[in-house]
Structure 1
């Protein structure tokens, strides 16, 4: 807010040569301008406000158009006749094929007992507790998915009563939406059903890789059901190793120059993570700082990042950008949508550039 106010409150805005946007369309008028001049200027302004007036990149128009298109298409799909499909199959046949296809892809729940034996509760290693908790959370979701799919298949055959919940689930499968009863047991996601299933399978592969081969060198933060527990566990490990209070520890962040394949060992303290994406900006690997997005490039991968626990850390007062991290593309004040950590990037002491990023309100998020 302070950065925005600095753009519009100050002696500089009184100059007749002052402009409020890079293109110069929005500018100050001469002090001698009369009422007619003001009216003519107002009428000359664009009917549709360009993105620059809001401090946004031109790519924001693409995102807006995509969201509008998806909304319209979603409404059209929901209005389609429910008696038959374009493939010639009946609605029930389509739902049955979809249910069976998901059952074939989704893995069974992970036996918790062997995981707890291999990764027992240890004071010096909180990641053992994290992986067990992740297994329990994913198992709850997998059980719900598999049980409801089997119930739906029975209902379609007339073996059990088609309840209201099963009917709602069937409608969701038909229009490629995640059923409400699944979403209530799952992690935040905006993906359509097909992509959601693929993502769930990929997440379980990450968990199985951890279970089978030990604690990862680089953690895929997008694969966590509850990433806050992972971040807290990282701080706990450091606090216990240094015998200090966890309340005095916060994260410092370092973007790594090494690629995923080049990082072979875990850091002495903290963790390496991957899976963050930038929206509205990109990471310049040459200048090693934030840079403007390339045209038509809406999302860009962040390199591996090192989350370093630091005791009594004093946040830099200049040359950095504080970037919020979201779980999905949807900005929301809901506490379940935002990870309660903020990534900071040093931007070569360019305070003016940092102010620009604050005005544009860039954000990062793990996955999308």
Structure 2
């Protein structure tokens, strides 16, 4: 008789077979062995804790980042005493210790005063004095009012005194997990709910009040929960606070009170752009926020046949519902949230569950006993030092000293670099023989080529020098510095060392994949340089031959077939992931077009067309012959378009490309990333209506303004222009459905994947 896996074995088997189901299996295990209360998340009952406290016991609020603890306490004070006048607050920090001590002493002698010291984790130097103050509460000669309470708030921090923790009542306040828990907290009974009975039963705002209030709270829960989906949810994980919802409720009340007609435009602007949008620094996140808000603030919400989900499980409350009815409905909602509620596809949910499972496993591993690695022997009887030395030797053998050293037969071979060629007599003669801004020698792509070569050479030099130093350190010839130690451990963990990342393009790849891409990039620009030099040399030789025949100094205008065309000698297709600065490369394309057509460069933009997919092309670019495939595609395919460029190597995140309909479509359930076919970038003048451009002929297609990023992480440093350094450009992609669908999906293009 076959016996299935036991309850204990089940999570282990799921970890191997379906990692995304691990958390569910663990929850089942905990429920069966310990009880369901250990997996439920509920808000802290501050009112009950307050009633159990006295004037000599501090109340300690331990909270996570992003929780507006002051607002929580003030709502409790309002509920208990009908006012917040008795709450004395101070935010601790440098120089605030004496003021905090004075505040406590004054509150002790006045009737019913609360002293609230915020951010104790920021005042480590004041904590010893606070211990003495708390100890003095129990002294017999102290005359403390019975209504006095000392409230302390802090994030989990080792500097917080253990003695105060032992004496006080501890309340942990965390952001709720899930739509149901968030809504329960918002409409809660425990002194922390924003929607009280008085707010809910506001009769001055008309019959639409309850439905729109619930819709706003539902929107608040959605924007909170989207961050669990990582970059698909938000480029930057924002910490929206309860004050955002509180202000939005006040805005809703202001715009509905005694108004016959709802101003939807004002409602969406003040809520989306001001209340919540004030925290959103990324323009693409702001676009997503406003698109989500449109689903919750629109006339359809007031219709009886409206629901937030297709199965009608999630719907607005009725105008006749009481607060008790509303809470009962929220309690009836499922514990697990459908990704459709957040505008996400099920593949995003799978990615989230897999990430959570990996975090869980990492936490389990982190609590295991630490094994010393000083004499650790790895597979094959090799020590860590031997493993690192082998990897270092392999990297040094694969990488050239400079980009244009690639393909050199011997160290003594006289290799002509692009920089030395431009400094030589051949280039000078070509420049003298040509004229006009559109001539070949004025192409801005030459500047891009040289800059990219310089950046690659700098990175190669950094890698080579650091690896040689690491070899010497391991052998004991030089001192093992902190920087070399970081490189050593990074190599063992298959990570790109921090020193290399500082001189590299942005990446999330493992060390092996990153080195592979680096080699391809070096070969790409080395081939480009060699091809340009060969082409220029052939044109120079032809020019010399013509001059010998005519015995005159020849000059050629920009319309001459001999030197016209800014793309001569360049790749026929460009591997965009290989560029250090792809944005600069695309700008150079626009500059060339502006020079040729004598128009301002700031009046230009790109139109895009996704080219037909070549059979087997995607597999070639990801297979064992990836380097050869990329170089062949770049330099050995058909001639390029003179008025634009073809780009390849991009990936779609959160959607896939349908080559039949030539439009975006939903991804498969178990796959998130898809390779996009080649894209034609065609410079053209901006239209007067500022609408996006695409070269698709089908009028039924709409255009999705798709952002292109360097890495799946999407976030980066904000540049001086307010745009993330991870952002490259926009690509307009055809769609058979409304673009807002892909906006809430978080669909984007990427230059590279993690591996």
TM-score after normalising by structure 1:
0.90
- Cα 1:205–1:70 shift into 2, 3 Å: farther
The SS at the match of 1:356 is helix
Provide the residue aligned with 1:283 in structure 2: 657
1:86 aligns with 2:378: yes
The 5-angstrom pairing of residues 333-348 of structure 1 reads 333-334=716-717, 335-339=724-728, 341-347=729-735
User: Offset of 1:166 from its aligned partner?
Assistant: 0.8
Does residue 322 of the first structure (1) align with residue 698 of the second (2)?
A: no
Tell me the residue number matched to 2:742. 357
Q: Deviations over 1:41-77 (max 9, x none)?
A: 2112232333111100111122223434555667759
Q: Tell me the distance in 1 between the aligned counterparts of 2:706 and 2:666.
A: 15
**Correspondence list, 1:8-23, <5 A:** 8-23=296-311
Deviation at 1:86, TM superposition (A): 3.4
User: Quick one: higher RCO (CA 8 Å, sep 6+), 1 or 2?
Assistant: 1
- Alignment of structure 1 residues 246-257 onto 2, 5 Å: 246-257=601-612
- Distance in 1 of aligned mates of 2:300 and 2:401: 65
- Of 189, 194, 208, the residue aligned with 2:526 is 208
Deviations 1:110-167 (A, max 9, x none): 2495223557696532222211111110010011111110110011111111111111
Q: CA deviation at 1:293?
A: 0.8
Q: 1:24 to 1:333 in 2, by over 3 A?
A: farther
Q: Which residue of 2 aligns with 1:242?
A: 597
Residue 297 of structure 1 deviates from its aligned partner by 1.3
Task: Determine the structure 2 residue equivalent to 1:61.
Answer: 349
Tell me the residue number matched to 2:481: 163
Of 295-304 and 327-336, more deviation after overlay is shown by 327-336
CA spacing shift, 1:81–1:195, aligned 2, 3 Å = farther
From the superposition, tell whether residues 71 and 191 of structure 1 become closer, same or farther in structure 2 (CA, over 3 Å).
farther
Name which one, 1 or 2, has greater alpha-carbon Rg.
Answer: 2
2:316 to 20, 28, 31: 28
Do residues 52 (structure 1) and 340 (structure 2) align? yes
Distance 1:127 1:104 in 2: 31
Cα pair 2:708 2:751 within 8 Å, conserved: yes
Q: Secondary structure at the match of 1:149?
A: helix
Q: Contact between 1:255 and 1:303, CA under 8 Å: does it hold in 2?
A: yes
Please, which of 586, 589, 596 is the counterpart of residue 231 of structure 1? 586
Task: Please say if residues 188 and 336 of structure 1, whose CA atoms lie closer than 8 Å, have aligned partners that are also in contact.
Answer: no
Shift of 1:311: 1.9
Count, aligned residues: 364
What SS class does the counterpart of residue 323 from structure 1 fall into? strand
The farther-off stretch of 253-262 and 210-219 is 253-262
Matched, 1:294 2:668: yes
Matched, 1:307 2:678: no
Structure 2 residue aligned with 1:99: 392
Aligned Cα root-mean-square deviation (Å)? 2.6
1:145 corresponds to: 463
After TM superposition, the structure 1 stretch with the greater mean CA deviation from structure 2, 318-327 or 237-246, is 318-327
List gaps (5 residues or longer) in structure 2: 1-288, 406-415, 432-439, 532-568, 618-632, 693-700, 718-723
Q: Which stretch of the first structure deviates more once superposed, 299-308 or 102-111?
A: 102-111
Q: What's the offset of the Cα at 1:204?
A: 1.6
C-alpha change, 1:18 and 1:240, in structure 2 (3 Å) is same
Contact 1:17–1:27 (CA<8 Å) still a contact in 2? no
Of residues 194, 197, 200 in structure 1, which corresponds to 2:512? 194
Describe the SS at the equivalent of 2:417.
helix
